[in-house]
Structure 1
């Protein structure tokens, strides 16, 4: 296997783990469970930095037309559902369990491909890998020591949006929007809706009573989460442009494995043997999925 540009891949992995852990720290350790404000801050900083980098010529970003932006709005809505529901779920789920549920989004993508886009029949290896990931996610709530029904409902919303967004990006036909421009629309659309929802959801009033509101730890955590998220975006775009889709998937898989392995050293992780098996088989299923897609291209 040709690994392409190792610097871009290693930078992606470091930023992936760092972004995941920083978000988990703010959401779970500091207990800042106000997703409209937290994700609104992240998307606002992301949009601001993207526009600034585009103005300075550091990233290639053309003027986004109104028709192109409107055609991408369904994707932006899925992106918003992804980050909002993901924050709700991650705030109460351990990192290994969160990724186990998230992995089943591949089954959602496959179902949409089959029903909506009439995808041809898949290989037995791919079908087996999807079943392993789906069964791991379905069995996880039965063995999770910290099971919470509301948390898992948000997790289901998150994986549904992730799966639908993945398919939308594949089948969205436009010669007018690059990956950076698509993300810029996602950020601006999310900022607008999250700002409007901050008061009706009670997040704005709740944040004013947040005990760590004037803590330097909280300020640094929020700044780091926004900056790492933006840098992860740039690293992802660079990775996609320098490596094949297959190799990108391998690096995402490796980054998840590193995050899962290191999370018990950083956070308290409450798992037992059955839930740990669900985590293990979910990632085995993802390895098989990558292998099946590589096999299909041979």
Structure 2
């Protein structure tokens, strides 16, 4: 997992540098102190991608999305504690639906994997904390792409040092599909497509209001859930379907509540 994450961040980092040199993306020179102030966010980013990869290796994509949506609850709790912000009743209802869906899922998932759910809980916590850190650093002069630039190169360094203690350095050499064309092409595609996903998301946030951006992300998740059974093995029952429905409905209500808040 560490080798794959290191490869993805390596490709993403150097593609960002390459596109910046060509003027396709805007990355300005920032001071060392500015970069250092962002390092806690980069650490959360590393935990986010590593725990997310470990979780995805054991859980189906729809299950992963349901659990990932619970990160909105973590973000809200952090904001409630730090900023004393109160949410509308509609937002509270949406968060309740997300909580019910994620909380009930382990008890009805026919493909339940304890390790997958454990890593997913770490992923959810780090994603929620990362969002809060971004909001606390709004006064920072770093743009979204500059933040991602620091994240990529910090991840490469940290994951490189972590490869040996975790056993991933030599474990990767024993991976049975190491010489598989499909595996190698998939790794290459994951790095390139991950980079384009980051750039597309940043462009979407710049050109589309935040509440509309959330609607597009919600739609993308719904389409991914619908397409998953056509590509991967996914065992589902009525209870699991209800959890998926509650999670999608909760996210849609959350987007709607953000739209109402923005209009006010």
TM > 0.5 between the two? yes
The equivalences for 1:216-295 within 5 A come to 216-295=181-260
Shift of 1:175: 4.3
Number of corresponding residues: 263
- Name which of structure 1's ranges 237-246 and 173-182 shifts more when overlaid on structure 2: 173-182
Q: CA-atom RMSD, angstroms? A: 1.0
The equivalences for 1:19-168 within 5 A come to 35-119=1-85, 121-168=86-133
Runs of 5+ consecutive residues of structure 1 not aligned to the other structure: 1-34
Runs of 5+ consecutive residues of structure 2 not aligned to the other structure: none
| Cα distance, 1:263–1:116 mapped onto 2, change above 3 Å | same
Aligned partners of 2:12 and 2:194 also within 8 Å? yes
Which ranges of 4 or more aligned residues in structure 1 deviate by more than 3 Å?
A: none
1:126 and 1:215 mapped to 2: Cα distance? 47
1:295 and 1:57 mapped to 2: Cα distance? 37
User: Which deviations, in whole Å up to 9, do the C-alpha atoms of 1:173-193 show, x marking residues without a partner?
Assistant: 344211111000000111111
1:62 and 1:291 mapped to 2: Cα distance? 35
1:208 and 1:137 mapped to 2: Cα distance? 36
SS of residue in 2 equivalent to 1:135: helix
SS of residue in 2 equivalent to 1:214: coil
- Name which of structure 1's ranges 57-66 and 125-134 shifts more when overlaid on structure 2: 57-66
SS of residue in 1 equivalent to 2:38: helix
2:115 and 2:259 mapped to 1: Cα distance? 37
Q: 2:162 aligns with which of 197, 210, 213?
A: 197
